[in-house]
Structure 1
Amino acid sequence: MLDNVTRRDAMRTTAAAAFGGAMITESTIAEQPRDTREDLNSTDVIEAPSGAQIGDVVEDRALIWSRASEPARMFLHLSTEQDFSEKRTIRGPTALADSNYTATMDIEGLPRGEEIYYRVTFESLRNPGTRSDPVGGSFRTPPTDRTDIRFVWGGDVAGQGWGIDPDFGGMRTFESMRETDPDFFIHSGDAIYADGPLEERVELDDGSVWQNVVTEAMSDVADTLAEFRGNYRYNLRDDHYRAFVSEVPMIPQWDDHEILNNWYPNEKLPADDPHDVKSVNLLAARGQQAFLDYMPIRPRDDVDDAIYQNFPYGPSLEVFRLDMRSYRGPNTENTQTESGPKTDFLGDTQMSWLKDALSESEATWKIIAADMPIGLVVTDGDKYEAVANADSGIPKGREIEIKELLSFMQSENIRNVVWVTADVHYTAAHHYHPKRASFSEFDPFWEFVSGPLHAGTFGPNELDDTFGPTVVFEKSPPEGEANLPPSDGFQFFGQVDVDGQSDVLTVTLKDMNNDSLYTKELTPVNC
């Protein structure tokens, strides 16, 4: 029984929307199937067309998101019983046009380490008594004691012209991830491709045709808030994606394609760019609003719109979500020898938070969820988009910030740190060691790359030797081939398992069919 569920102000709805009064009685909302309710007719139907999502689960808190088809009030049913024989019903926020009819509830007081079943319904504001059929699922809250933990990660969805093809079976990697029954999912960014419109037909090399479902929002680059929002709605049309996010709590990140390729703050687009809006700051503001409307994410209370956060999962594991996009300087040649505004990547405030959070963590394993890799060279024309600058020498440019972080972790005896990321559209395992690096003030660590989840496949990228990485495993397209469609099979995700008794952490890189490609078992180092 959920004895201590409390309510918090609704997020990402209108300023006046709140959870309202106390828990309401079960009779307030009828739950019989729509076709048995005499008060409805064919013109009085309200729906929750995008299903439901869970996200940013922290200790006893969880975000539950859904979307109505018209102005409506959200109601949430919670239970620890699958048949909802005992449940609580919470009166939630209104879903209005200002939020594109999305609504999110931030629930506290959930029992720890248990399966929580939930259902969302909407009641029409225009036609009181008209209610939607329920949507929902279940999820596990983080444990308080030592227990087995599993999570999956990956990024890059509906990119490079590869959208939903029903004949292919839609976004099949999400079904494979769902079958692993993970406790949570780290979405490593590029959740949409707002700068990548879709064509209805794409002819493949073997003579077959990839047939995209194309919506109005996906037919051009996103300039308006409505177009950005439409990109998120597009992914939620896919049955596999919708089922996955309704059952697996998400830790969402963003990278560049939530706005446009390789963007950075204060950038101005050239006159021949296909966007009507040339101010990247304006595009980013609209894209960020859509991201907050449609992803189950809880911005920080202490820093406006900041999404970097830590997520403890019992004594064995803690995740640290980074934002490598919002606080960066411009993309440059990345060869500065001293830190400054042009070398910023995490930025001072986020870096201070990360150092403090890592120092305070009592978890055996610290998972740094980065939306970009450290040692892989990612270019932006003749400039650099990520950390590495391809010179393999002493840390310069954005590498200075990473050097500072790695040296801090060594000096503070912060051990058992593993990095997970995506971005480069192939999968790999990298081991970093000071004996191979241009400086030695850090401890060896692993970085695992996975993706795309449903996008074009590329790679492999050049590896910069500054931090002493070596490629232990890599799977990418055959040499000379690029932007392979999902139907070619080069779609990847990562899986991490922590043994609750031994604290051994096992990373498995998998393909879209849930087949294991590479496995690495890591034993924790005593601090």
Structure 2
Amino acid sequence: MAENRRSFLTKIGWLTGGLITPVNTIRARAPFKLGNYRVYFTNGFKVMEVSQNEAIIWTRLCANEQPNPLIHPKEKHKSQNNEYPIDFNEQMPVREMDGGVTGSPGWVRAIVENQRDKQVSDWQQASGEGDFTVSFPFTGLEPATEYKVRLEGKAEKGKVTAHQSGSFRTAGSEASPSELLLTTSTCQYFWNHDDKDRGFKTYDAMRQLKPDFFIHTGDYVYYDRIGPMVDNLEKARHKWHAMDGWPSLKEFYQHVPIYMLKDDHDLLKDDVFPDSNPLGEFTLEQGLQVWRENVPLKGKPYRTFRWGKDLQVWLVEGREFRSPREIIAGGGRTIWGDEQKQWFTSTMKASDASFKILFSPTPVVGPDREKKMDNHANQLFSEEGNWLRQFLAEMNGVFVVNGDRHWQYFSIDQETGLREFGAGPVSDAQSGGWAQEDKRPEHQFLRVKGGFLGIKVFRQNDIPKIDFRHYDVNGNEMHQEEFEA
């Protein structure tokens, strides 16, 4: 078992390191010969990992202008809120599946500019090996600055047929207070969409608030649910194509940077551990591969970002470094692993931000269902959970925002006083797993529905304040809490 875990971590190390080439070293090889056909940015683009001076632009080159139409009706599960497609043929060609977007070989370049500066990447090749995805790291950006983004794509040199544009703002300097708004949500299954034309109402509602950035806390797609149920690499990739083809997501990302965390369903399957069995032919290592194709990171999957003088966020990894499921019971179980824990405690202690938010793919406070066994609010990881809650409670201005749970809540840990906000799932059809009437002593707010969480950081009479608001899928405010430093 120890040998299996070393092998697993070795593969993770290969996947997490050295995937991003600095933009000034990207050099396209001699173009391959292609006919004069059109290519498209059907899956839009994302501005990712934005800091004061850096950003990564991700996109995918596509062969068709629109995703495949939805041809299957859906119905609500008899014992759940979830909706599933009716009579979905799991064996149909993936290229014909609902929401499918075929990729295309070709060339892409990205342009980032403000009023004083312009950076143009070299042309980068999109190929089937990487699912026709490309990413461009940009450095040397200015803090607290609005940038325009422009993408160009072509099947061969000299004939640009694809255009996409948008904008983003870099993080503010830690030396200066800056008012900002971020939004966050979790858990989105393609067939739980609540707008058949646009996808998810939550994204349109968030777009109206014009947030500075968005954090998705995991389960961006669901490999282990039908429509299709993933059993190979092609079907796993399809899940991302279909999700990123929704207009509500594409339009949101045109102007809102995103940070992404992964959890079990967008890595392999429910409650995945390093020693979990594959889904058919689809392995955990392939799950990591597909994740990296869609979420290009500069380095480790755990990272921290400073947004102005008053806010610092931590994004942690909960699947790659955890103990195998079959480890001997009693002590030593970990979700984060020693290296990540050391990084987290040292960076948290070193921060002088007024407010510090841990974004976790899974709960730290909860409460959670007694039968669950994969997060820090569960008995299985109580030793590490107790340590983490105590550590966070001893720091000033700390909050936890978690994903994974399919209900909205605000909880206060009875033993330590640590405060946690559950953002809730993207759609109402995704909500469930907890009874509305089951309000525990920890719950200060409980709503078993979908939507998102908005977090505003600002100053009033030079006093730093932070405001948490739960919204429903239409953007109506459901609950509000405000704190000052």
TM-score range, shorter chain: 0.7 to 0.9
Matched, 1:515 2:473: no
Matched, 1:151 2:143: no
Give the unaligned 5+ runs of structure 2: 1-14, 29-33, 63-103
Q: After superposition, where does 1:461-480 map in structure 2 within 5 Å?
A: 470-476=442-448
Aligned partners of 1:186 and 1:250 also within 8 Å: yes
Distance in 2 separating the partners of 1:370 and 1:52: 24
Distance in 2 separating the partners of 1:164 and 1:288: 29
Distance in 2 separating the partners of 1:292 and 1:497: 30
What is the match of residue 74 of structure 1?
A: 108
What is the match of residue 298 of structure 1?
A: 297
Which of 376, 385, 407 does residue 374 from structure 2 map onto? 385
Which amino acid in the other structure matches residue 241 of structure 1?
L
Matched, 1:261 2:270: yes
SS in 2 for 1:353: helix
Q: After superposition, where does 1:20-419 map in structure 2 within 5 Å?
A: 44-69=37-62, 70-81=104-115, 87-124=118-155, 127-144=156-173, 145-158=176-189, 161-163=191-193, 165-166=195-196, 169-198=198-227, 220-258=228-266, 259-268=268-277, 275-277=279-281, 283-295=283-295, 297-300=296-299, 306-330=300-324, 338-340=330-332, 343-376=333-366, 378=368, 384-389=373-378, 397-409=380-392, 414-419=395-400
Which amino acid in the other structure matches residue 77 of structure 1?
I
Distance in 1 separating the partners of 2:19 and 2:144: 33
Shift of 1:509: 0.5
Shift of 1:21: 6.1
Distance in 2 separating the partners of 1:78 and 1:23: 18
Which amino acid in the other structure matches residue 249 of structure 1?
P
Distance in 2 separating the partners of 1:92 and 1:226: 26
Aligned partners of 1:321 and 1:370 also within 8 Å: yes
Instruction: State the TM-score, normalized to the length of structure 1.
Output: 0.73
SS in 2 for 1:191: coil
Size of the alignment, in residue pairs? 419
Relative distance call for 1:471 and 1:60 in structure 2 (3 A) is same
Distance in 2 separating the partners of 1:357 and 1:86: 32
Distance in 2 separating the partners of 1:361 and 1:14: 27
Distance in 1 separating the partners of 2:470 and 2:477: 6
Aligned partners of 1:388 and 1:464 also within 8 Å: no
Which amino acid in the other structure matches residue 236 of structure 1?
D
Shift of 1:409: 4.3
Distance in 2 separating the partners of 1:170 and 1:406: 37
SS in 2 for 1:66: strand
What is the match of residue 213 of structure 1?
A: none
Which amino acid in the other structure matches residue 230 of structure 2?
A
Shift of 1:375: 3.3
Aligned partners of 2:365 and 2:418 also within 8 Å: no
Aligned partners of 1:229 and 1:294 also within 8 Å: no
Matched, 1:457 2:446: no
SS in 2 for 1:134: strand
Instruction: State the TM-score, normalized to the length of structure 2.
Output: 0.79
Relative distance call for 1:407 and 1:22 in structure 2 (3 A) is closer
Give the unaligned 5+ runs of structure 1: 1-10, 25-39, 199-219, 270-274, 301-305, 390-395, 477-489
Aligned partners of 2:364 and 2:389 also within 8 Å: no
Shift of 1:298: 1.1
Shift of 1:147: 1.2
Which amino acid in the other structure matches residue 506 of structure 1?
D
Which amino acid in the other structure matches residue 400 of structure 2?
W
Distance in 1 separating the partners of 2:17 and 2:328: 44
SS in 2 for 1:190: coil
Percent identity between the two aligned chains: 22
SS in 1 for 2:122: strand
User: What CA deviation, in whole Å up to 9, does each residue of 1:205-239 have, x standing for no partner?
Assistant: xxxxxxxxxxxxxxx22232222111111111110
Distance in 1 separating the partners of 2:430 and 2:127: 35
Distance in 2 separating the partners of 1:366 and 1:135: 35
Shift of 1:447: 0.3
SS in 2 for 1:63: strand
Q: After superposition, where does 1:492-507 map in structure 2 within 5 Å?
A: 492-500=451-459, 501-507=462-468
